[in-house]
Chains A and B, each alone.
Chain A
């Protein structure tokens, strides 16, 4: 048996502070090519992060255009309904396929997962880089499709509209989404294998931080569900180019079949978005409460349970589509079952605050915002899972508000919270926490002004995807648009606070929040091969050995050595 390198004695802080300008993954090699051809998971993650944030800016601009157009009934800033239709389609497609799906797994997950796990990299670094370039290809094709006539199909590409519309960019964008799907599959595959095969000694399944459980559950969905989307979009391309009747009734096809195929992927995709967000929230809440997460095993298993359930509820998108009453009833019943693990997760997070030591850091504010918004997003799911009320609310702004609470208010807010949480780790600089917290509050307020109003719009009967509307809806639309401007201002402030850290931000300590998981044991930014010495795997939610260090402005961990790894070091526990 080979010997495992022994952890050296003494607190971890020595290794970091001894080398203030230490060699790290950002400075290890230099030049554009060293980034373009890097196989380092952290660099690939950082490239993903910039790409996703750039796409978020683009998708956000389209959101603002849509909201501004809706300030008044009839034309406001564009005379053409077609232009408006392209805006909301682009907003949806960019935010779903280019931003939210890759945001947490591919950007933050790539940076954090191997370090958290105690590995040097993901299982297949080349595949990882390939997956990034597939993303880039998909994104470029998506933008190119605009030059080829754009697309006005809605992000759902429902047939027969999508196969008969005159807009010329439909086939390019379908191809783009197909390619993006492969990027997502490869990331998922990489993560599944990494979690199974690259856990170091001592990192048992139930020692894994919950973010890893969440990424693992997400990866399973990515691998299993995304191929269905790929096949469906290929069929759509085949139908549109060579006129094989699959979905178009004019050629003997069935448009409802397309909806089944589409939602068979796109409902699990909702969990590709929300599960990793839940993982981030578990981390942020536990670390900032400095206590063990309440009901660790339940949260871990509920991630897997939600991933499994997510495959059998797709029909709840189709209650009014002509699907039979029996199917509607079954899908309604199963959809409710997803509510239970989701509710219990919320209870667990709240219970984790109980008798904790709650530090109100910027990431913690985002986590609290998440709890507030996810509770609303989840509870309004009840209205939509219930058959009789869904008939009224389906395809209205109520649905728009509901999924924004879940996809933006929850998934994206968690993503931004995660960026704040790991920013010091990724870039070695502290941002201005006061500015970051103010920005979080502004986003939170703007978000609620924008989207809570839309619940009321929808329940009063305002349909989705309307360029023009009746004047009695205007007051709600004006409030909602003002909210979106507040939110945009909040995001600008966030950017100022984050990027401001590069200009005179305090040098980040290795462990600014007092975390126990392994990424807080390596330097900030991490060295090229992650750990200067082999990490010691302990209970990642035991904060009794975490101590504040005034000198570095961070925490250090007085790690008792793991008896399984190094039995001889076990008695050294007391500090």
Chain B
């Protein structure tokens, strides 16, 4: 096949190698259901109409009490049918369950409420990028509670269990193309009205995990082999190439996208405290300052990112997952810089104000178009 199977009345588009098999099984079951439902309904309606009784009439007495051959027949028939369905479902399940040996591994960490995808060369991303035409095995782990990774278009689902590794695999032969420069948060993208881009595939969390459960959805981008290699290279050193004084506006907004699940910039209280005025607040804390528990305010921010439970300021609960191993020193510098420049950021989107030049963060020259 050259293209993914188109969406049908029952199923979304099928883009993985196992999708046609699953859809076929579903079709078989559906037709069995239609048949039995139609027969049962037709007989029920027919009997009710034909043997309708009006109050006061005598009751019929010519009915059969039972009919052994009929009863044996209608016990055996469903038995044969369900054995058939079981066998069909079991065979395609083995394909779904067992990843081929030559699969490309992506490590997936689920946490409240986002995904981190890690590639063999050390690259990381918030959306899943995979090579086309090659089996991909996801090695799943959770850093807090149960989650479940679900890609409807691939017919793949697997629970992510803390304290265990679980696996899922798929192969998609159809490149979707890349999004714009930045992987987008699907919820943000929706507001901007550009959901139609590419044929990217939605990725959901399907095991209830709390407040942000329904926001824990990202996209899967399938790239042809060459552009995938290129993307992975670029992704692995995206932050290293940014000059240190530009980190806060070139890396900051992208990093903040993950923080924005719990922290706002406009003073709205979330699961965690808003970042509005955070620098002044942290500096004023009694446990921050020379000779105190945290020598500088940057120390406290850094510790809170790496060991969130180290010192929690009431009334907030210790709800934040650790970002240890996910953010390097440059990324933490970028977040700290970001906090210091909130007046130059759009408090709603977390991006640089449109009046500023995205390359220099300086006010645009008068008359320049957006």
Contacts and interface: CB of A to CB of B under 8 A. Distances in A.
Interface of A: 73, 81-82, 85, 152, 154, 158, 160-161, 164-166, 249-250, 253-256, 289-292, 294-298, 320-322, 325, 328-329, 332-333, 336-337, 339-340, 343-344, 346-348, 350-351, 353-360, 368, 371-372, 375-376, 379-380, 382-383, 385-392, 394-396, 456, 459-461, 463-472, 543-544, 546, 548, 550
B17 to A, nearest CB: 13
Contact of B86 (A336, A347, A354): A336
A161 B208 contact: yes
Contacts of B173: none
Given A161-B146, A298-B71, A358-B48, A166 B156 contact: no
Contacts of A465: 208, 213-214
Interface residues of B, number: 92
B43 A81 contact: no
B333 interface: no
B33 A357 contact: no
Contacts of B88: 386, 388
A459 B190 contact: no
Q: Which 4 A-B pairs have the closest CB atoms?
A: A249-B163, A461-B152, A386-B89, A387-B93
Contact of A391 (B156, B161, B217): B156
Contacts of B360: none
A322 B166 contact: yes
Contacts of A368: 44, 48
Contacts of B43: 350, 353
A355 B48 CA distance: 9
A499 to B, nearest CB: 25
Nearest to A548: B56
B152 A332 contact: no
A143 B317 CA distance: 24
Given A322-B158, A346-B40, A358-B47, 14 more contacts: A152-B210, A160-B144, A249-B164, A250-B162, A336-B82, A340-B82, A348-B71, A353-B43, A387-B92, A388-B90, A389-B89, A461-B12, A470-B202, A550-B56
Nearest to A468: B214
Contacts of B83: 336
24 contacts: A81-B214, A85-B213, A154-B208, A161-B210, A250-B163, A255-B161, A294-B65, A321-B161, A332-B90, A340-B75, A353-B47, A357-B60, A376-B37, A382-B85, A387-B96, A388-B25, A391-B155, A392-B157, A394-B206, A395-B150, A461-B204, A467-B213, A467-B214, A548-B55
A544 B152 contact: no
Contact of A356 (B22, B63, B96, B166): B63
Contacts, number: 270
Contacts of B205: 463
Nearest to B155: A392
Nearest to A364: B48
Contacts of A383: 26, 29
Interface of B: 7, 9-12, 18, 21-22, 25-26, 29, 32-33, 36-37, 40-41, 43-44, 47-48, 51-53, 55-57, 59-67, 70-71, 74-75, 78-79, 82-83, 85-86, 88-90, 92-97, 144-146, 148, 150, 152-153, 155-159, 161-164, 166, 186-187, 190, 195, 202, 204-215, 217, 317, 319
Contacts of B317: 166
Contacts of B92: 387-388
A59 B211 CA distance: 21
Nearest to B268: A79
Contacts of B85: 336, 382, 385-386
A158 B148 CA distance: 13
A375 B59 contact: no
Nearest to A472: B195
Contacts of B7: 460
A433 B317 CA distance: 56
B55 A355 contact: no
Contacts of A469: 214
Contacts of A548: 55-56
Contacts of A336: 82-83, 85-86
Contacts of A396: 150, 206
B155 A291 contact: no
B154 to A, nearest CB: 9
A195 B340 CA distance: 76
Residue among B56, B93, B162 with the most chain A CB within 10 A? B93
Contact of B60 (A328, A356, A390, A460): A356
Contacts of B211: 81-82, 85
B36 A379 contact: yes
B38 to A, nearest CB: 10
Given A81-B211, A396-B206, A386 B71 contact: no
Given A160-B145, A339-B82, A357-B57, A463 B206 contact: yes
Nearest to B65: A292
B202 A382 contact: no
Contacts of B86: 332-333, 336, 385-386
A165 B318 CA distance: 10
Contacts of A344: 71, 74-75, 78
B149 to A, nearest CB: 9
B90 A254 contact: no
